[in-house]
Amino acid sequence: MTILITGATGHLGRLVVENLLTRGVDPLQIVAGARDTTKIADLVERGVRSVHLDYSDSASIAAALRGADTVLLVSSSEVGKRTEQHRAVVDAAKAAGVSKFVYTSAPRATTSNLVLAPEHKATEEAVAASGLPAVILRNNWYTENYAAAVDQAAKTGVLVASAGDGRVASASRRDYADAAATALLSDGHIGAVYELGGDVAWNYAELAAAISDVVGRKVEYRALSTDEHAAELRASGLDDRTATFLTELDAGIRDGALAHTDGTLARLIGRPTTPLVDGLRSLS
């Protein structure tokens, strides 16, 4: 078996490679795809094969998939370009005759109003249309997404957001990497669409309390309206497009887009997911 991990220089892709190695997978069976392979030299030193793979270069994708029978497509970080990039990987996987194709999608991607969902929905549709034997991992939020919020709250004692009382079923990247490795290595997952999230869905008041425990000072959640939040983000130096994107994310959270949790992730990895406060503490 040859397992190709795309985006191996990213946080999640690297963790999946490390998880596979920890499970005893022969390093020669693992291919780490990256735009800049020099960034994964440490993995190569451990015996992992590296290959140039640029989501925007179809030739590099086709070359990287040559000989791979199992593929993890870690979603691109380039919002707005993901659909085209992901379709290129799907097409190359189909042409290569891949026998298991795993994709990291977004929560309830086909029905969600989350601003990030449409590109994931389009990718899932492309996977389905291709006929690839596929596993869809709909990852909820990464607790690590709040690293900047922790740093800011440590300085100011305030957590600012326009997410209202919306809840987030976050888990650590290591939890999601563990799930991806399980899907790649074990049988019985083809055709599954897994909604993955942390065991507990928390709100921002609870996030503020968790940050308080981590940074050692009282942190207050200051709930803003969407307009107030956008104005504050622009005042901090963000451009209109970025401010709008961030407030749209918070609006999705406020409306429940990330609140779903039913224990699927814990069952898949065979252990409880990482508690919020522990995930935040690991950021320091």
pLDDT given at position 51: 97
Q: Where in the chain is CATH 3.90.25.10?
A: 141-172+197-259+274-284
Mean pLDDT confidence for 193-206: 98
pLDDT value at position 87?
97
At residue 273, does pLDDT exceed 80?
yes
The per-residue pLDDT for range 73-93, each reduced to its tens digit, is 999 999 999 999 999 999 999
Sign of CA dihedral 222, 225, 228, 232: positive
- Round the average pLDDT of the chain to a whole number and report it: 97
Listed in order, the ranges of the chain carrying CATH 3.40.50.720 are 3-139
- Based on DSSP, count helices (H) and strands (E) in the chain, helices before strands: 12, 9
Going by the DSSP 8-state scheme, the letter that residue 9 receives in this structure is T
Q: How much is the average pLDDT of 6-17?
A: 97
Q: Exposure of 116 by Cβ count < 10 A (0-12 exposed, 13-18 middle, 19+ buried)?
A: buried
**What is the arithmetic mean of pLDDT over 237-247?**
95
CATH superfamily, region 3-139? NAD(P)-binding Rossmann-like Domain (3.40.50.720)
Q: Which two tokens stand for residue 36?
A: 């800049």
Q: Using pLDDT thresholds of 50, 70 and 90, give the confidence band for residue 256.
A: very high
Task: Tell me the average pLDDT across 11-27.
Answer: 98
Is pLDDT above 90 for 1?
no
User: Residue 215 above 80 pLDDT?
Assistant: yes
Residue 22 is predicted with a pLDDT of 97
The full length of the chain comes to: 284
User: 3-state SS of 159-176?
Assistant: EEECCCCCCECCECHHHH
Can you tell me the mean pLDDT for 263-269? 98
212 sits in the region (left: phi over 0; alpha: psi -120 to 50; else beta) called alpha
Query: What does the pLDDT look like over 101-112, one tens digit per residue?
Result: 999 999 999 999
* Band of pLDDT at residue 284, cut at 50, 70 and 90: confident
pLDDT given for residue 162 in this prediction? 97
**Closest by Cα among 126, 148, 124 to 138:** 124
Contact 232, 224 (CB under 8 A): yes
The answer, yes or no, to whether residue 146 has pLDDT greater than 80, is yes
Instruction: Specify the CATH superfamily of domain 141-172+197-259+274-284.
Output: UDP-galactose 4-epimerase, domain 1 (3.90.25.10)
